[in-house]
Each structure stands twice: as structure tokens, then as C-alpha cells.
A and B are shown apart, each in its own frame.
Chain A
Amino acid sequence: MSATQMPDSNTSDALAARILARRHRFQWWEPLPWLLALGFYFVFPRYLGFGTELLITVLFAISLDLALGYAGIITLGHAAFFGAGAYTVGILAKHEIWTEPISGLVIAAIVAGAVGLLSGLVLLRTTGLTLLMLTLCTMGLLEETANMASEVTGGFDGLDSLPIKPIFGTFEFDVLYSSTQYLYVLGVLLVCFIFVRTLVYSPYGHSLTGIRENTLRMHAIGAPVRMRLVTCYAISAALAGVAGALWAQANAYVNLSTLGLDRAATVMIILVLGGYGRLYGSIVGAIAYMALSHFLSKAYPTAWQLGLGVLLVAIALFARGGILGIADQIRSRLGRAKEQKPS
């Protein structure tokens, strides 16, 4: 089911280490998505707004994948951190406290990460349904607070026309997603992706997978399970905060929609659509979802939602690995061909 193959119990540690190291090595096709993303910039200059949104969504989905896909933390409230990052940037910019974009991302990551750390310390004592409820309530708490503290957050209307300084003092942000922003977001996404890639292939990342697959055993071998989960949750929250901050900068506004159940459910759908617990699932899921919703929702708003629902039900019932899972199955069914084609 999972992409990670566990070594047999009788293989030596050295072999296991070598397998892990080999998995960590970059595959020849891995630069492809990034080259495609760069190519998109030159080929479709009119769709850069759409592209920027797509890249931000990918980052948000990757952050959720770390918590949900790798560590198995069931959360329905991940938009809490997206919103925390977005509001951090928004409030700092609107009140003219801090308008530099890149350091703004760092501040947003720290704030969102701190929210994740604090809530994780408290919430991750529980599991299953209680955890699901608690993440929902935490998000609701933040949403209502943002709604209530209207002097700072703009309440229901949010904060708009945020002043954003040029990147490095030279690259001017063009209003409403355009060329600079696309490249800026792509660069941030690449950095975050490499960070997550390194993380999930590290021993720490493998211990997360171990906790997901068999928490009891990880306890038994003495792994500090709860602290691992809390740190993972905090890192994931910080990344979601970066995604939220990018969203606020790219749109030059922030409002309650960054914080609600809609956004949390959508990113979960995207992740599961592509295939969770695998690095490229978020990218595939985001492309599939965004392309479908962008083109179909305008033509058939209602039917598109119906189709999405049917798709979700079908994935939950028949294809638990998402699109990449289906691709894997087809590949393994096509025979035990040695040369594996990338999906």
C-alpha cells in the first residue's frame, strides 16, 4: 500500500541504510515538474494568476501531507495554520509594521509554527475522533477570533489593498498575481519542497511513517512518539503558514476564507486525490483538482460539484492511493517490467 518498502527482518542494518539512501537519491525525472512549471511561465503568460494559485495550493497540500500522509495525524483543521500565516502577513502589512515579503514569510512561518506547536502539545494527547473534533474546534476558535477582533483583522470584510514591498528591494510585486509573483512563489515552493523531501527521507521522516503504521511498536522500541508527532505538526503548520502568507501577498488581501472548513476540506481532498504519503501526490492532486475546478466549475458549477463528490466516494471505496496509487497499480499490473516509468 505505501510506497516505502520495509526491508526484511533478516537484512542487516547496513543494507537497510543503503536502501534508505537509495530512496533519498534524486530520480532522473524529478527535475521535470519544476522545468514544466518554469516553462509554464514562458508559454502561458496569461495564466500566471492561475499558476500562482496552483503553486500555493501545492505548498499547502504538501504541508498537510507531512502531518496527515506521513505521520498519520488526522486533522480537519489545517486551514487554521494557513489562515494564521495569511493573517500574520496581512496584519503586519496593513498596519505598516512589516511589508518586506521574504522576511514576512519567515515571520508567518514562525507564528503559524508556534500556533501548531502549542495546539499540537495540547491536542496530540488524543487520537481518532477526539483529535478530529479538536482540530475542527481549534480552527473554529481562530476563525471566530479573527471575525471578532475586527479592529486588527478587519472582521468579516478582512484586510485589503495590502502594501507589499518589492522583493530584495528591486522586484516590484505586480498587482493581482503576475510575472514576479509566479517566479517568487515557484522559488519558495522549490525551497520548501526540497526541505520536505530531505525531511521525509531522513531517519526522522522514517520514524514518522513508523508511527503511522504501528504506533504501539514505535512506543515499544522507545521512540519518543508524542514529541515526534508534535514537532511534525509544528513543522507542517509552519509550512502551511508560508502557503497562507504567499496567498495573502499574491492577492494583496486576507479574509476569513483563509481560515474555514471549506479551505481545510478542499486541501484534504486535493491531497487524497493525488495520493497522500508520497511527495508528488500533492502536485498531481493540485493540478487535477485546480484544472477540473477551473474549467468545469465555470461551465457546469453544480454538475462539477456532483462529479467531485462521486470522484471522492469512488476513491475512498476503490482506490485508496489516489491518482498516483492508481498509476502504481496499473504499472504493477502491466507486468514486472524492470524499467519503471515515472508517473
Chain B
Amino acid sequence: MIEIANMVLGGLAAGMVLFIVSVGLSVTMGLMGFVNLAHGGFAMIGGYVIVLAMNRLGIPFVPALALGFIVVAAISAVFERLLYSRLYRAPELDQVLFTIGLVFIMTASVLLVVGPETQPLTLPTSMQGQLNLGFMTYRTYSVVLIVVGVIIMLALWLGFERTRMGAQIRAAVDNRRMAESLGINITRLFTITFAFGSGMAALGGGLGAEFLGLDPQYPLKYLVMFLIVVAVGGLGRITGVFYAALIIGVVDFTLKKYLPQGGTVFIYAMTILLLLWRPQGLFGRPT
């Protein structure tokens, strides 16, 4: 019983990080129809900003997270206006190529500026150690991640369902032409959404740095994982990505424990079967 709870909690914590990183990618690909393979790069840059702010400037963890979000959101807004927007109607191949190029630029820039070694993230003492949950004790940071993930999920859901901006995004995901003809400023909407999504990736990069590690290979190393979460969750579906990230987090965590060798094979096979059965993802709407 305790063991199952261990699995579920550990997997949920990992799944929350997956969710926070991937949710922006899901909206970018769903709303803008852009194959943004550089999304993991924004997560990496965010992670580096956060870790360097803590280690070199002595900024505490939570303000550093906020700083990472703002910096990456600002950078990505510039990227979107100057570069991405030129390729919105381009074939997928050009988008793939462009974003792979961006990944190279990001990786090389990090190598040049910071160096190749893995950046350690020291958690604040309040998040270290074990927490008594009543029926068992568990790693405090995992519990923190789960709580933060749920809060972010609820905030995003409220923002999506209850605000004007959220309604506009939903409208644009469902029917872009109709949204445009209703007078929704798609250009501005895209920039804001893109910046926000990349900011979320940065947040995930920082929150997950403690166990995913943070090195220049990060964007390519986890790319497939983020893409799987989005593909399973369905494009542009926030709740879908949430459930998908949790399922994959728990499955991955469990398999790594019991089948350290073959776990990933199972994830890939599962994804292939799922996408063949439902190309729009487990929680996506058929197009």
C-alpha cells in the first residue's frame, strides 16, 4: 500500500513538471499550428536563468522562478514577432528545420556563456527533507511540486474558461478564421500566448531542474517526452495535457523502478498504439 502511494506520488510529481513544460507547447501547436521543436530550449533557458540567478546573484528560489518566467517570456515574444510569425503558414518541414536550428543556437549559446557542466540546483531548506503526510512521510519537494502543479492547472483552467483572453484562445483553436472575422486580434493573441507558453516552459525547466538535470543537451534530450505528452493529451487541450502528463509521469516512474531497462520501450509502444487508435490524442477532439 505504502509502496503504491510512493509510486503514485513520485510519478505525479514528475508528471506535474511534464505538464508545466508541455502545456505551452500544446497551445502553440494547437492554436498556431506551429511545430515548435525549440520549446524544450525555452525550458532550458528558463532553467539556466533560474539556477544562475540563485547561484550567482543569491536570489531565493521563488523570486528566481518568477524572474525565469519573465525573462523567457520576453525573449520568446521577440522571437515570435521577428521569426516565428514569418513561418505560420509555411510547410511543417520548414518549421521543423527552423526550430531545430533554434535548438542548435540555444545549445551553443549556453555552452559559450555558461559551459558544458550540469548546473546544480540547491532547493531552499524549507523544501528539503521529508514531510509527514499523516499516513506516510514523503519527500517535501515532490509534495510541493504536486501542490504547485495543481494550483497552476486550476489557474490555467480558470483563465481559459473564465476570462475574455481564454475565450479568444479557445475560439482561435477551434476555428481560426471565424475568430478572426469576429474581430479577435489574432496577431496579438499569438504573441501573448506564445510568450506565456514559453514562460511556463521556463517555470517547468526551473522546477524540474532538481531531478531532470540542466545541461546544454536538455532541449533534445527531453524533446520526445514533451511531444509525447502533447500528442497524447491532444493539441490545445489544457486538461488533456494535464491528464496525459500525470499518466505518463506515473507510468514512466513505475516502469523505471521495476523495469529500468525496458521502461521507455513501453512508453513508445503505448504512444504509437494510442496515436494509431486516436490520432488526435487521448483527450483531443476529432478534427
Contact = CB atoms under 8 A, between A and B. Distances in A.
Real complex partners, A and B? yes
Interface of A: 68, 74, 76, 122, 125-126, 128-130, 132-134, 136-138, 140-141, 144-145, 147-148, 261-262, 265, 268-269, 272, 276, 302-303, 305-306, 308-313, 315-317, 320
Nearest to B276: A122
Contacts of A262: 220
A130 B275 contact: yes
B101 A268 contact: no
Given A122-B276, A262-B220, A302-B108, A129 B98 contact: no
B195 to A, nearest CB: 19
A196 to B, nearest CB: 20
A141 B269 contact: yes
A132 B97 CA distance: 13
B29 interface: yes
Interface stretch (B119-127, B142-150, B206-214, B224-232): B224-232
A306 B104 contact: yes
Contact of A74 (B93, B111, B279): B93
22 contacts: A122-B276, A129-B29, A132-B96, A133-B231, A133-B275, A137-B224, A140-B268, A144-B268, A261-B223, A265-B220, A268-B97, A272-B93, A272-B97, A303-B112, A305-B111, A306-B108, A310-B105, A315-B97, A315-B101, A316-B87, A316-B94, A316-B97
A312 B272 contact: no
Given A303-B112, A305-B111, A74 B101 contact: no
Given A145-B265, A303-B112, A137 B105 contact: no
A140 B264 contact: yes
Nearest to A260: B220
Interface residues of B, number: 43
Contacts of A309: 101-108
A129 B265 contact: no
Contacts, number: 123
Given A136-B227, A137-B272, A312-B104, A129 B83 contact: no
A269 B100 CA distance: 9
Interface string B259-278: 00110110011011001100
A141 B272 CA distance: 9
Contacts of B29: 129
A313 B37 CA distance: 13
B262 A305 contact: no
B108 A128 contact: no
Given A130-B275, A138-B272, A144-B264, A313 B92 contact: no
A148 B268 CA distance: 14
Contacts of A268: 96-97, 100
B86 interface: yes
B108 A303 contact: yes
A13 to B, nearest CB: 30
B109 interface: yes
Nearest to A135: B272
Contacts of B108: 302-303, 305-306, 309
A134 B276 CA distance: 9
B35 interface: yes
Q: For B106, B111, B272, which residue has the most chain A Cβ atoms within 10 angstroms?
A: B272
